[in-house]
């Protein structure tokens, strides 16, 4: 009944990593051409930084952590 159970369980981390890499590659592949020109690369990086700052400030305000 449990023949190869641990071998099967040990495959799950590799499967999880493969799925996560596939999601990231499919999410960021359309953005790759934008990094060929410096102007659009700076704009894309600025948007990413702005999104991270926005989410950080929003979560801090919602959770009451270190009010700014």
Local confidence band at 51 (pLDDT 50, 70, 90 cut-offs): very high
Q: Is the full-model pTM beyond 0.85?
A: no
Helices (DSSP H) in the chain: which residue ranges?
A: 5-28, 38-63
Q: Quick one: pLDDT at residue 67?
A: 63
Domain residue limits, the chain:
5-63
Percent of the chain at pLDDT > 70 equals 96
What is the pLDDT of the chain when averaged over all its residues? 91
**Residues contacting residue 61 through CB under 8 Å, at least 6 positions apart:** 67
Residue 16 CA to residue 22 CA, distance in Å, equals 10
Residues 45 and 34 sit within 8 Å (Cβ to Cβ):
no
Residue 63 has pLDDT above 80, yes or no: yes
Residues 57 and 63 sit within 8 Å (Cβ to Cβ):
no
């Amino acid at each position: 009944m449990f023949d190869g159970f641990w071998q099967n369980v040990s495959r799950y981390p590799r499967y999880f990593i493969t799925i996560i890499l596939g999601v990231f590659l499919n999410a960021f592949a359309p953005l790759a051409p934008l990094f060929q020109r410096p102007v659009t690369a700076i704009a894309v990086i600025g948007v990413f930084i702005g999104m991270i700052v926005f989410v950080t400030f929003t979560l801090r305000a919602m959770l009451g952590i270190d009010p700014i």
